[in-house]
Amino acid sequence: MKRIPVLCLILISFFSCKNEDALENEISKIETNIVIERFDRAFATTKSDELGTLKKAFPFLFSKRTPDSIWINRMNDTIQKELHQATHDTFGDFKTVSNEIEALFQHLKYYDKAFSEPKVVTLTNFVKYREKLIVTDTIVLIAIDNYLGSNHEFYSGIPKYLAENMRPSQIVVDLAKAYSEKQIFQSQKRTLLDEMVFFGKQLYFKDKMIPFKTDAEKIGYRPDQLEFAKLNENVIWTEFVEKEMLYNTDSSLPARFIADAPFSKFYLELDSQTPGRLGQYIGWQIVRAYMKNNDVSLQQMLQTDAAEIFNKSNYKPPK
């Protein structure tokens, strides 16, 4: 008799996987009109006397307040030439990333019937890693020199915990995050729980839009960091609850558990072993529990208040 619940779980898991496979098969058939324009390559191969032609092809990238001399100097700049070579060596024809962006757009079209594919333009921006992407309804700008690989020489002065996600595979992850921010509604974030659920919404959005990415890639962890979060989820949650952090409005808490950081700050001996952003990870599990235990659509969840999501999630970390 004790085997019956186990058998039920196996059957539920089996049919759930079958349904997910059927859904992904349906989404893969959605037609997209994806246009990716390589401004970085066009700029690299344009001669100074051909600048006018380039400006006509990409008028939205050239400010009238910037004299042509600035662009011509940039064409001849040694660092700019090194960036062009590095992006060419890393991305080649951009096909792998292009396929992932197309898959993202297919999922966006499935979940949002009003979504229309924007034009995607690649460029370089002298590794301004705080400005990797710009996303609007009609255009997406991707500064691909920010995705050359975690150990690239251009990133030697960037903190390692940030450089770890400056990889080609993270382009579509960052794009999905940008699109989530356009769809999430949440009243002013006051408590740590508000912050946790906000980022939990972002990560659940990635679950739906880029299911072909691993959980580690979605949250920007190494596999061992994700494993730490999974194994210690109950311990982390207990610490948040016992220290009464969830409804605390202390502005230092997001910096300790939400923001990019080399590790989370519990002020315990194990801190150095932890990955940063563990508050985001727990928020993700809360939102996953809410979606599992409530019959609501993705769009409804994205508009739901953090407290309601938490109260109706019945979240309980595994022991």
Percentage of the chain surpassing pLDDT 70? 94
Average of per-residue pLDDT across 26-40: 94
User: What pLDDT score does 13 carry?
Assistant: 55
User: What pLDDT score does 1 carry?
Assistant: 44
Instruction: Classify 127 as helix, strand or coil.
Output: coil
291 pLDDT above the threshold of 80: yes
9 pLDDT above the threshold of 90: no
CB count in 10 Å sphere of residue 28: 12
Average of per-residue pLDDT across 144-170: 97
156 vs 295: CA distance, rounded Å: 48
Beta strands 35-38 and 133-135 are unpaired
43 pLDDT above the threshold of 80: yes
What is the per-residue pLDDT across 166-217, written as a single tens digit (0 to 9) for each? 999 999 999 999 999 999 988 778 999 999 999 999 999 999 999 999 999 9
For residue 135, give the H/E element and its range: strand 133-135
272 pLDDT above the threshold of 50: yes
User: What pLDDT score does 84 carry?
Assistant: 95
Q: Which two tokens stand for residue 301?
A: 């969840």
14 pLDDT above the threshold of 60: no
What's the one-letter identity of residue 121? V
pLDDT band of residue 73 (cuts 50, 70, 90) is very high
- Among 129, 162, 160, 154, residue whose Cα is nearest residue 143: 129
71 pLDDT above the threshold of 60: yes
- What pTM value is reported for the model? 0.92
Average of per-residue pLDDT across 149-164: 96
Give the chain's mean pLDDT: 93
User: What pLDDT score does 4 carry?
Assistant: 58
Burial class of 56 by CB neighbour count within 10 A (0 to 12, 13 to 18, 19+): exposed
User: What pLDDT score does 15 carry?
Assistant: 55
CB count in 10 Å sphere of residue 113: 6
34 pLDDT above the threshold of 80: yes
Residue boundaries of the structural domains of the chain: 35-175, 192-313
pLDDT band of residue 120 (cuts 50, 70, 90) is very high
What is the per-residue pLDDT across 192-206, written as a single tens digit (0 to 9) for each? 999 999 999 999 999
Q: Residue 160: CB partners within 8 Å, gap ≥ 6?
A: 262
User: What pLDDT score does 188 carry?
Assistant: 78
User: What pLDDT score does 7 carry?
Assistant: 57
User: What pLDDT score does 20 carry?
Assistant: 80
Q: Where are the alpha helices (DSSP H) in the chain?
A: 3-28, 39-45, 51-57, 68-75, 78-91, 95-111, 160-163, 171-183, 192-209, 215-219, 223-231, 233-242, 252-257, 278-293, 298-302, 306-313
